[in-house]
Amino acid sequence: KTLKIAALAGDGIGPEVMREAIKVLRAVEKKFALTINITEAPVGWAGIDAAGKALPDATLKLCKESDCILFGSVGLPDRDPTIPKEERPERAALLRLRKEFSLFANLRPVKLPKELSHACPLAKERQGTGIDILVVRELTGGMYFGQPKKTEQISAGASKATILRAIDTMVYTTPEIERIAHVAFKTARLRRKKVTSIDKANVLENGVLWRDVVTTVAKEYPDVQLEHMFVDNGAMQLVLKPTQFDVMLCENMFGDILSDEAAALGGSLGMLPSASLGSAGSTGQFGFYEPAGGTAPDIAGKNLANPIAQILSTALMLRYTFNLNDAALAIENAVGKVISDGLRTGDIFSASETNARKVGTTEMGDAIAAAI
Amino acid sequence: KTLKIAALAGDGIGPEVMREAIKVLRAVEKKFALTINITEAPVGWAGIDAAGKALPDATLKLCKESDCILFGSVGLPDRDPTIPKEERPERAALLRLRKEFSLFANLRPVKLPKELSHACPLAKERQGTGIDILVVRELTGGMYFGQPKKTEQISAGASKATILRAIDTMVYTTPEIERIAHVAFKTARLRRKKVTSIDKANVLENGVLWRDVVTTVAKEYPDVQLEHMFVDNGAMQLVLKPTQFDVMLCENMFGDILSDEAAALGGSLGMLPSASLGSAGSTGQFGFYEPAGGTAPDIAGKNLANPIAQILSTALMLRYTFNLNDAALAIENAVGKVISDGLRTGDIFSASETNARKVGTTEMGDAIAAAI
Ligand SMILES: [Mg+2]
Ligand SMILES: [Mg+2]
């Protein structure tokens, strides 16, 4: 079977780190005797410059004909304000693709290799034998989309003065919670088999329903340990004892908050990949894979960017869209090896490390490809 | 003028730490030539044992006749489950008092003395010259109370199967945001004059209104610097660079999450006081002051509890209810002095400190009272 990948590098450091990711993918293709068909297409400002819009028709067509999208990053702070909001890369490409492919599950793994403990904001003794957390965030429901969502004028008080009232609504239905819970339990099976479900069941109706549904779904995964935690305690525990977590299952807003907090523990955004998954169809699980960081235009084109987030995104792609967990592990182990060998891009370099060697984007990619 | 204080020690370590707090208050009374009238009354299980309910009528009457409540802590994990939820100390005393006195502003300061940097989960270089954050949390509005709040049955899909839908509503009106913003700006004036307002204005109607109203209120405080931050970034920045924050102004749920995350940076819950304020009336600002920790029944009665959270709560009481900022500072400085002198209760003791000396609850209280 041919793996069909749409590679949209985008703007800023996107093309540089994508090049290294493809290099590593080619090494995996060879080692595992796969047939990988990678087609590159412009997106973001590259799309606007090439075809007049952030998501050119040909690029969208390519995505629809592919098994998944390997995405770089889009948007340029100095050019974005020159066009209307709806046409900017963030909305016209990123959000558009999310909607087009009904991406409802956002997976953000945070793994701190012990060699990079100096880059983690936590004291060493809190890092234990290494932080390794996967935040599974529901991406299409909850507070950010629920209706009613409006600001209205009301008159209040004896004076009947006009004041404003803002309303947002958190809504979840049983099936929405079920499908994201299945993603969490399935992915926990590929890890340390523990799910911490985050909610606020002591005050929210959504919290009670979330806890009930997750508890029910858990019965289908008797080999996975389930625990429940309130979101405020979760925010505290991530700082106090992050090593207690394997998979953290969150609704949309709590996942937005906790995944960023967890990301801060990872040392550098340049190390963090992400996956956004749609429904599993007959042809497999469509997925959208991108690094957590942005376009970083200040270092673009200078061979300074850390390609690891993009490279680890391809590992997630092999794992979740193609069910090639061995190939995914090969990439993750190769990254672990070059880190352990002391190779560092600038964002993870510390002069205090004795065996560290500062390298550029391409050298890092070469080394990881060679380690496959 | 006589300061009238209702002292409700409650359960577990409550009475022990309250005793030390009163000891310190008496020292302040002497030094600043105040007249402090402290009346003690039972609450929680102490209330149930003495008068049949968690908030005895006489205790509530005393509170109403006082300027403020100095509260210990209530609830005992082994006894709570033996009575109905509504009668348990948490609901029948704590939540009841919050409602009775319309406490809408929750203030949680987190201050890490540099001598206790070892107790902070962050690496030393992230602590800068010391973490000193005040989270101001709105306590009566937002998601936890907004209507509609319900779980309903709906039929969905082709099969018309019955599923559940949970709904919670986040609601804020202009005046609710105004009054908590004023609290934040006023208290910032007593500190480093910076307010970081937390919202999610990029996706929530509440976020947009919150940002607008806070920006307008800020005009009345031109000497205070205002910045806005998204809640997910706030959760990240608390870990990456906590020293950037002075006052963090949050709506109810975001404040619930971020104040617990910030508390984790403080080294020990035994160090963290809190204040809950009602509306300022003609007789001043009614307030409810309590330590952040709980009853800790495992160490109750053993002279092991850290009384500092309770003692610092009295400092907040002097500052916010009685406008006695100098007396408040005297307590805070006295606490700083004994910490710097090396006195440590078990929760903040580390064998790696060369000058530290482990002391009990009473010795800590004695030393702080002596340092006033
Ligand atoms: Mg976020
Ligand atoms: Mg909380």
Q: For residue A176, is it within any domain? A: no
Tokens of B254: 């975001």
Q: What is the pLDDT of residues B219-229, one digit of tens each?
A: 999 999 999 99
H-assigned helices in chain A: 14-31, 45-51, 57-64, 89, 96-100, 174-189, 205-218, 231-240, 252-264, 308-320, 325-341, 361-371
Q: How far is CA A113 from CA A130, A194, A234, B10, in A?
A: 6, 20, 22, 46
Domain range for residue A310? 1-108+268-372
Cβ within 8 Å of residue A20, ≥6 positions away: A307, A310, A311, A361, A362, A364, A365, A368, A369
Please indicate whether, in this complex, the C-beta atoms of B236 and A261 are within 8 angstroms of each other.
Answer: yes
Touching check for B235 and chain A: CB below 8 Å?
Answer: yes
Quote the pLDDT of residue B48. Answer: 97
Q: For residue B60, is it within any domain? A: yes
Touching check for B215 and chain A: CB below 8 Å?
Answer: no
Q: For residue A142, is it within any domain? A: no
Q: Quick one: angle between helices A308-320 and A325-341, nearest 10? A: 160
Domain harbouring B40, CATH code? 3.40.718.10
Find the mean pLDDT for residues B8-12.
97
Q: For residue A101, is it within any domain? A: yes
- B residues 97-116 lying closer than 8 A (beta carbon) to A: none
Contacts A151 to B, Cβ<8 Å: 205, 208-209
CA B106 to chain centroid: 6
Task: Classify residue B129 as exposed, middle or buried by CB count within 10 Å of its CB (0-12, 13-18, 19+).
Answer: exposed
In the block, residue with structure tokens 């508390």: B263
Please indicate whether, in this complex, the C-beta atoms of A165 and B149 are within 8 angstroms of each other.
Answer: no
Touching check for B161 and chain A: CB below 8 Å?
Answer: no
Residue A2 CB: number of other CB atoms within 10 A? 9
Phi-psi region of B113 (alpha: psi -120 to 50; beta: other; left: phi over 0): beta
Indicate if B219 belongs to the active site: no
Residue A348: its H or E element = none
Among B234, B240, B226, which residue's Cα sits nearest to residue B189?
B226
Q: For residue B248, is it within any domain? A: no
Tokens of A249: 């299952």
Please indicate whether, in this complex, the C-beta atoms of B143 and A208 are within 8 angstroms of each other.
Answer: no
User: Please, which residues have CB less than 5 A from ligand 2, an ion?
Assistant: A 232; B 256, 260
Top-confidence residue, A156 or A336 = A336
Q: For residue B151, is it within any domain? A: no
Tokens of B342: 């090396």
Q: Is pLDDT above 90 for A159?
A: no
Tokens of A294: 């942005």
Question: Hey, is B108 helix, strand or coil?
Answer: strand
The count of structural domains within chain A is: 1
Top-confidence residue, A331 or B91 = A331
ipTM: 0.93
Tokens of B350: 């580390």
H-assigned helices in A190-245: 205-218, 231-240
Indicate if B232 belongs to the active site: yes
What is the dihedral angle through the alpha carbons of B207, B209, B214, B219, rounded to the nearest 10 degrees? 140
Across all residues in chain A, what is the average pLDDT?
94
Touching check for B131 and chain A: CB below 8 Å?
Answer: no
Please indicate whether, in this complex, the C-beta atoms of A235 and B258 are within 8 angstroms of each other.
Answer: yes
Q: For residue B90, is it within any domain? A: yes
Tokens of B227: 């910045």
Please indicate whether, in this complex, the C-beta atoms of B173 and A165 are within 8 angstroms of each other.
Answer: yes
Quote the pLDDT of residue A352. Answer: 87
Q: Of the ranges A273-287, B251-265, B308-322, which one carries the lowest mean pLDDT score?
A: A273-287
Q: For residue B61, is it within any domain? A: yes
Q: Is pLDDT above 90 for A284?
A: no
* Closest Cβ–Cβ partner in A208, A236, A263 for B236: A263
Find the mean pLDDT for residues A267-274.
90
Residue A54: its H or E element = none
Q: How far is CA A190 from CA A67, A227, A247, in A?
A: 21, 18, 10
